[in-house]
């Protein structure tokens, strides 16, 4: 199968609502309102169809794929239906080739759920932005109250579970550039999570991310540089995926995530009603940006039908930037142009460099300099001139 029409990751939206009301969420506070017409929870027939279609797709391609339970808050589906989904998938799809994970805010975690995740070899990543000060900037409940205590309770439960080593995947944090990186790193490391990862705040050329006052500003890049130095200088660091991927790319490796490097990734979303969509981060651009023209549904359409379509191939091609500025940039093999949602503007569509272009540039150049100083100059795929800002 052509890699352009291969499935790499499927995100299953088990619930279309959330028990938190995070102000930066592209689902509930972005320009798209599709969530309002979705069923609140995935119905049994959709769960059954997902199992059948994913097993069917596994027989159609040599490479395995990742399955991510997402939302909303995926645990709102409830134990019984989660058990049906996870046990059904794991009975047919071995964990070595088909990793299953859950991205949760942690508030609904229980011993019963953790036992289920251990049984089905499902890993759990918890969203938390750092200490209370960082977390409470955006991650509040529907009454405007802090969610910090509820998330911390879930993390403690996860970290203390008898199968924590295999179930606890790590933490995922949205960058809050007004909170010092050392405070965030020290706090997250202290949670005992085996890894951490960071996301840039959603934004584009028409709606700049918080604390970013212009396209040329580098506040996020400066924050990440400080965190990168803390990471490299830590004698016992906790792995940080965003940096590990960047270092790998600088040394000629292949990216594992959309928005970096020059490899396409096959990503599909399955909504609570079974509709198959493009990566839902595109919703941050405009209403309906993640919809396929033909509204395929997992109940009556095979994934291979979607993956073989010209529209799907064109959609995966969006991951490679089209702007002249990106095409001529020597940092492109590492930067990859950033996520498509960061390139959007109403007048040029996605034909722009990322709104984080200058942040990426200073971070990558700084990483190259640190790697060169560590004696890895001969292994770097970019020339020494890339280290210096022109």
- pLDDT digits 0-9 by tens, 272-324: 999 999 999 999 999 999 999 999 999 999 999 999 999 999 999 999 999 99
352-356: long-range contacts (C-beta < 8 A, 24 or more apart)? 352/205, 352/323, 353/321, 353/323, 353/325, 353/326, 354/321, 355/203, 355/204, 355/205, 355/208, 355/209, 355/212, 355/215, 356/200, 356/209, 356/212, 356/220, 356/221
H/E stretch holding 10 reads strand 9-13
C-beta separation of 86 from 51 below 8 A: no
- What pLDDT, on the 0 to 100 scale, is given for residue 138? 97
> How high is the pLDDT of residue 45?
97
CA separation for the pair 221, 68 (Å, rounded): 28
pLDDT at 378: 80
Average pLDDT over residues 249-266: 88
Least confident residue range of 1-5, 135-139, 359-363: 1-5
Q: Which CATH superfamily is domain 3-315 in?
A: Aldolase class I (3.20.20.70)
Task: Report residue 233 as tokens.
Answer: 């200088």
Measure the CA–CA gap between 269 and 189, rounded to whole angstroms.
31
Share the mean pLDDT of the chain: 94
| pLDDT at residue 353 is higher than 90 | yes
Window from 23-37, 301-315, 376-390 with minimum mean pLDDT = 376-390
Task: Report the predicted TM-score, pTM, of the whole model to 2 decimal places.
Answer: 0.94
CA–CA distance from 161 to each of 13, 78, 232 (Å)? 26, 20, 30
Query: Quick one: pLDDT at residue 76?
Result: 98
Sheet with 267-270: strands ordered across: 196-199, 168-174, 122-127, 100-104, 66-70, 9-13, 267-270, 276-277
Q: Using the predicted structure, report yes or no on whether residue 337 has a pLDDT greater than 50.
A: yes
Q: Is a pLDDT exceeding 70 seen at residue 366?
A: yes
347 CB-near residues (< 8 Å, 6+ apart):
none
Query: For residues 355 and 216, is the Cβ–Cβ distance under 8 A?
Result: no
Q: pLDDT tens across 190-247, in order?
A: 999 999 999 999 999 999 999 999 999 999 999 999 999 999 999 999 999 999 999 9
The share of the chain scoring above pLDDT 90, in percent, equals 90
The pLDDT assigned to 385 comes to 61
pLDDT at position 383 over 80? no
| Domain boundary assignment for the chain | 3-315, 324-387
Q: How confident is the model at residue 390 (pLDDT cuts 50, 70, 90)?
A: very low
Q: Is the dihedral of CA 170, 43, 41, 30 positive or negative?
A: positive
Closest CA to 309 of 291, 290, 294, 289: 294
pLDDT band (50, 70, 90) for residue 259? confident
Of 389 and 286, the structure prediction assigns the larger pLDDT to: 286
- Per-residue pLDDT for 170 more than 70? yes
Backbone angles phi, psi at 267, to 5 degrees: -120, 130
Average pLDDT of the segment spanning 361-378: 92
pLDDT at 3 over 60: no
Work out the percent of the chain whose per-residue pLDDT is above 70.
Answer: 97
- 257 pLDDT exceeds 50? yes
């Amino acid at each position: 199968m052509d890699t352009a029409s291969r499935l790499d990751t499927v995100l299953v939206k088990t619930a279309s609502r959330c028990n938190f009301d995070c102000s930066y969420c592209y689902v509930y506070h972005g320009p798209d309102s599709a969530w309002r017409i979705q069923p609140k929870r995935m119905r049994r027939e959709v769960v059954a169809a997902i199992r059948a279609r994913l097993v069917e797709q596994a027989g159609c391609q040599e490479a395995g794929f990742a399955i991510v339970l997402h939302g909303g808050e995926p645990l709102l589906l409830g134990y019984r239906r989660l058990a049906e989904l996870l046990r059904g998938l794991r009975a047919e799809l071995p964990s070595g080739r088909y990793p299953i994970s859950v991205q949760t805010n942690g508030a609904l975690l229980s011993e019963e759920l953790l036992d289920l995740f251990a049984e089905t070899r499902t890993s759990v990543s918890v969203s938390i932005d750092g200490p209370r000060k960082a977390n409470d900037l955006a991650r509040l409940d529907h009454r405007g109250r802090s969610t910090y205590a509820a998330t911390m309770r879930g993390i403690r439960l996860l970290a203390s579970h008898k199968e924590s080593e295999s179930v606890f995947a790590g933490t995922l944090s949205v960058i809050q550039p007004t909170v010092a990186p050392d405070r965030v790193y020290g706090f997250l490391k202290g949670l005992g999570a085996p890894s951490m990862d960071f996301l840039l705040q959603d934004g584009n050329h028409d709606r700049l991310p918080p604390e970013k006052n212009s396209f040329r500003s580098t506040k996020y890049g400066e924050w990440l540089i400080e965190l990168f130095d803390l990471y490299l200088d830590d004698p016992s660091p906790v792995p940080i995926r965003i940096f590990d991927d960047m270092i790998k790319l600088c040394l000629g490796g292949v990216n594992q995530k959309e928005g970096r490097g020059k490899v396409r990734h096959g990503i599909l979303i399955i909504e609570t009603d079974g509709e198959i969509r493009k990566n839902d981060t595109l919703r941050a651009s405009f209403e309906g940006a993640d919809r396929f023209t033909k509204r395929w549904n997992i109940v009556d359409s095979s994934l291979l039908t979607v993956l073989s379509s010209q529209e799907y191939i064109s959609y995966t091609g969006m991951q490679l930037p089209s702007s002249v500025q990106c095409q001529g940039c020597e940092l492109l093999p590492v930067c990859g142009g950033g996520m498509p949602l960061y390139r959007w503007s109403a007048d040029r569509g996605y034909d722009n460099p990322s709104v984080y272009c200058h942040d990426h540039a200073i971070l990558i150049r700084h990483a190259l300099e640190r790697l060169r100083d560590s004696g890895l100059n001969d292994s770097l795929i970019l020339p020494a001139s890339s280290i210096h800002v022109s």
